[in-house]
Structure 1
Amino acid sequence: MPAEIVYVVLGLGLLMVSLLPTIAEGRAFSAPMVVLSFGVVVGLVVPGEDPVSPILDARATAHIAEATVIIALMGVGLALERPLNWRTWMPTWRMIGLAMPLGIAGVALLGWWAMGLTVPAAVLLGAVLAPTDPVLASDVQVEGPRGLGQDRTEEQRADGRAEEDEVRFTLTSEAGLNDAFAFPFVYLGLFLMGRGAWQEWGMEWLLWTLVGKIVVGCLVGWLSGRLLGALLFRGRLRGRRVAEVGTPIFALAATFAVYGLTEVVHGYGFLAVFVAALALRGAERDHGVHTALHGFVEQTETILTLVLLLMVGAAMSAGLLAGLTWGGAAVGVLLVLVVRPLVGWLSLLGSRGVDRAERAAISWFGVRGIGSIYYLAYALSSEYVAEGLELWSVVAFTITLSVVLHGLTATPVMRRLDRRPRRGPGGDFAASAPVG
């Protein structure tokens, strides 16, 4: 694609993204739906057989998606008001420990049965489509941190939206964690493809890839977050705290530093960034600097997301779906409409503080997106995967289906939930009923 066309496309895309939040507010469509559609149009009208296809350079696509995800994870961690706690995070632990492995197994079985994939490729597909998205699911997630002295907006007071409603919190925290927890299963698919018999590497995968790298990610993330929090709120420059004189770029610097350090010591950087953000937020939970940090992260994430969605949309209209079979389409449809809702519903049965309507909403809104793009591009950058186009087709179709269906349903479903009596993290209803 000529450079001048790239500038035109990016300029129009950014202009559109800057206006879409206001246009889409309260309407049954989302900004990702429009941007993805714009990418499809770009692919149709720009000359060339395949103007911007993720397949052309898997490593470059992986790096763009990687940066987008880690920046989004920092924003997600900063946005959460609820401190890390085993009891109040129980729905999240259930979604990570039960729903995600069951979802991987379900998609792998469908890939093997409906698409005729080999067992290793089917496992890889299940892992690639496992993470829900911290980037594209903003319509059903926590909006952002409240600074010192801030209160709910007039709109939130009018419709009864709680500061910590269980649906938004669970979907946000789940998306913050499952990008990292899907990684061992991506490795499992790659190991099955290229490392011989299970007996040769099974113990290594179990002890190090599944457990050890998660432990390292948690430790590095927590320690880094505590140190960054001490620097921000106890460090001083010219007699003032760093939090009062620093710039929002601090959040970006923290994101890259924590991620890079964790990867150097072979932990899961995705997990470390999210944990570091939680620790940083907990250092002084109500300080207004978190709002500034989150706002900058969100704007950066928006630009990177725009680039990726344009790439995928343009590639779809230029041949990315050429490898999609009826079996592949069935896998995507069943994941969105059956597998995720079913495993989510079953995993949350008996969870204290989550009622029937909330359980249904959490189970339904398993948005697929940028995380899946990263994992597939990462896998395809290895020499083991032979089903590249077929997997890209299924993943692109599933992301599109998810963006459309979840985008259309997010506003009406969340509006209906928001108008119910407010509920705290412990599950008890507040004394006041919603207004309106």
Structure 2
Amino acid sequence: MNQDMHFDLVILGILGAFILYSLLTRVVDRSVLTLPIIFMCLGYALAEPLRNAAPPEVLDEGKRLLAEITLVLVLFSDASHVQFKQLRQSWKLPARMLIIGLPLSIGLGTLVTVLISPEGGVAMALLTAAVLTPTDAALGQGVVTSANVPEKLSETINVESGLNDGLVLPFVLLGAILASAGMAGTSTEGLALSALVQIVLGPVAGIVTGWVVARLMDVAQARRFISESAEGVVFLAASFAAYVLAEVIGGNGFIAAFVSGMIFGNTYRHNIRFVREFMEGAGMLLTMASFLVFGALLLPDGLAHASLKTVVIAVMFLTVVRVGAIWLSLTGAGLNASEKLFLGWFGPRGLASILFTLVIIDEFEFPNEAELLACVSMTVALSILVHGLSSTPLARWIGKRSQ
């Protein structure tokens, strides 16, 4: 069998898995399994066939392209659903977790990583902490959608996970630049200015794109120029327009996509359901592909470089770092100990951490890249399992505790 036919058969098998999962989504929802668990395991099972079927450069280009497309859409979509009007009524808990808890998580995570693995340096510790700070509500979907969970808690988890991946981007960029600058022979001239320009001009591109597209779409809706089937196209094009505009003027495209989504969602005067509908369809396909790529291309390399140190770092990020930072940020917020622990525990690491890692490893050179990959792989893999399996029973538990 030639390589081309082998590759075609592997792709056919993956597409068959996508179809089968989609046909059985309601059955899966009633089980302890989750989309991330299924496709991470499938990817790991297909790791060897996939590597044998395609040249390394093809796989590298494919995973980078998938990561960029998915990250742009996720950032825009998540931000577009955070409504400022609703936040005015229930902003205190998410604000505490984002304004206090997020920097605390990064700071505490950097300290823990330096103490456990000092040879990596502070810059790599900062990068590791930044990549592992954003959360993914999809890994604990049983919590977000459960009727047992008090609304204030499920809404807080939704808002935090929707915003923290975009807010952590400057820290990821800073850590990547500082860690890359530590490489021997790397020129550091102009790095600080370049980072500042990206962080400043990215939001500018996002604000312009989000506002202009929202206003144009409002006019098209008011005059009945646009059909329902075209609304998803506008969302798709606006996401990438913000990204491309930022790249053209020297800003960071991912920050632009996040800011653009937030401005679009709060400027557009009509129903924004088409964004959610698009992400429930095409977005699910990209999510399945991302977790499959993680299982096939990142997890095997991560496990190959895993050590006791990386396992300890992963466990610390999922427990002490996350829970400790959130507990401190919620002190004085009027929550009991069970509620604070619940919000601290449900900070699963998933899609954002995977996508950030795929992008920065391709874009930068680091002195201790293998350990970063191992830390991310171990943390995400453990999170996919423990958060996915604990979401339903803990949703029942917090429901009983809140009665």
Which of 269, 284, 292 is the matching residue for 1:302? Answer: 284
Tell me the residue number matched to 1:431: none
Alpha-carbon deviations, 1:178-211, whole Å to 9, x = none?
22332332333333334479xx989974x8746x
Shift of 1:40: 2.0
Alpha-carbon deviations, 1:302-334, whole Å to 9, x = none?
212222222222246755411000110110011
Tell me the residue number matched to 1:67: 69
Which of 114, 119, 125 is the matching residue for 2:128? Answer: 125
Quote the RMSD (CA, aligned, Å): 3.6
Amino acid at match of 2:278: F
Q: Secondary structure in 1 aligned to 2:85?
A: coil
Amino acid at match of 2:292: L
Partner Cα distance (1:14, 1:214) in 2: 37
The reply on whether 1:36 has 2:17 as its aligned counterpart is no
Tell me the residue number matched to 1:175: 161
Amino acid at match of 2:21: V
Tell me the residue number matched to 2:97: 95
Alpha-carbon deviations, 1:376-426, whole Å to 9, x = none?
2333234531323322122111111011111112223334556788xxxxx
TM-score normalized with structure 2 length: 0.82
**Any conservation in 1 of the 2:112–2:313 contact (CA below 8 Å)?**
yes
Which of 260, 263, 274 is the matching residue for 1:292? Answer: 274
Partner Cα distance (1:16, 1:69) in 2: 25
Tell me the residue number matched to 1:397: 378
Alpha-carbon deviations, 1:190-244, whole Å to 9, x = none?
33334479xx989974x8746x65554444434433322222222269x524365
Tell me the residue number matched to 2:263: 279
Tell me the residue number matched to 2:170: 184
Q: Give the direction of change, closer, same or farther, for the CA distance of 1:19–1:121 in structure 2 (3 Å limit).
A: same
Q: Give the direction of change, closer, same or farther, for the CA distance of 1:37–1:234 in structure 2 (3 Å limit).
A: same
Q: Secondary structure in 2 aligned to 1:75?
A: helix
Partner Cα distance (1:396, 1:54) in 2: 20
Pairs within 5 Å for 1:331-410: 331-351=313-333, 356-382=337-363, 384-410=365-391
Shift of 1:338: 1.9
Which of 2, 8, 13 is the matching residue for 1:4? Answer: 8
Partner Cα distance (1:195, 1:325) in 2: 26
Aligned residues: 395
Q: Give the direction of change, closer, same or farther, for the CA distance of 1:416–1:172 in structure 2 (3 Å limit).
A: same
**Any conservation in 1 of the 2:7–2:50 contact (CA below 8 Å)?**
no
Shift of 1:135: 5.7
Pairs within 5 Å for 1:242-281: 242=226, 246-281=230-265
Shift of 1:15: 1.8
**Any conservation in 1 of the 2:206–2:260 contact (CA below 8 Å)?**
yes
Q: Secondary structure in 1 aligned to 2:304?
A: coil
Where in structure 1 are there 5+ consecutive unaligned residues?
144-155, 422-433
Where in structure 2 are there 5+ consecutive unaligned residues?
none
TM-score normalized with structure 1 length: 0.77
Shift of 1:360: 2.4
Partner Cα distance (1:380, 1:244) in 2: 39
Partner Cα distance (1:303, 1:249) in 2: 16
**Any conservation in 1 of the 2:32–2:389 contact (CA below 8 Å)?**
yes
Q: Give the direction of change, closer, same or farther, for the CA distance of 1:27–1:114 in structure 2 (3 Å limit).
A: same
Q: Give the direction of change, closer, same or farther, for the CA distance of 1:75–1:185 in structure 2 (3 Å limit).
A: closer
Q: Give the direction of change, closer, same or farther, for the CA distance of 1:86–1:58 in structure 2 (3 Å limit).
A: farther
Amino acid at match of 1:100: L
Pairs within 5 Å for 1:97-176: 97-119=99-121, 120-133=123-136, 136=139, 138-141=141-144, 159=147, 165-176=151-162
Alpha-carbon deviations, 1:112-140, whole Å to 9, x = none?
33234321222221222122236645444
Partner Cα distance (1:298, 1:368) in 2: 20
**Any conservation in 2 of the 1:128–1:375 contact (CA below 8 Å)?**
yes
Partner Cα distance (1:53, 1:22) in 2: 37
Q: Give the direction of change, closer, same or farther, for the CA distance of 1:247–1:177 in structure 2 (3 Å limit).
A: closer
Q: Which structure features the higher share of helix residues?
A: 2
**Any conservation in 1 of the 2:235–2:275 contact (CA below 8 Å)?**
yes
Partner Cα distance (1:59, 1:183) in 2: 22
**Any conservation in 2 of the 1:52–1:311 contact (CA below 8 Å)?**
no
Partner Cα distance (1:412, 1:359) in 2: 17
**Any conservation in 1 of the 2:84–2:266 contact (CA below 8 Å)?**
no
Alpha-carbon deviations, 1:154-192, whole Å to 9, x = none?
xx8xx4777xx3333322322233223323323333333
Amino acid at match of 2:127: L
Amino acid at match of 1:21: T
**Any conservation in 2 of the 1:232–1:243 contact (CA below 8 Å)?**
no
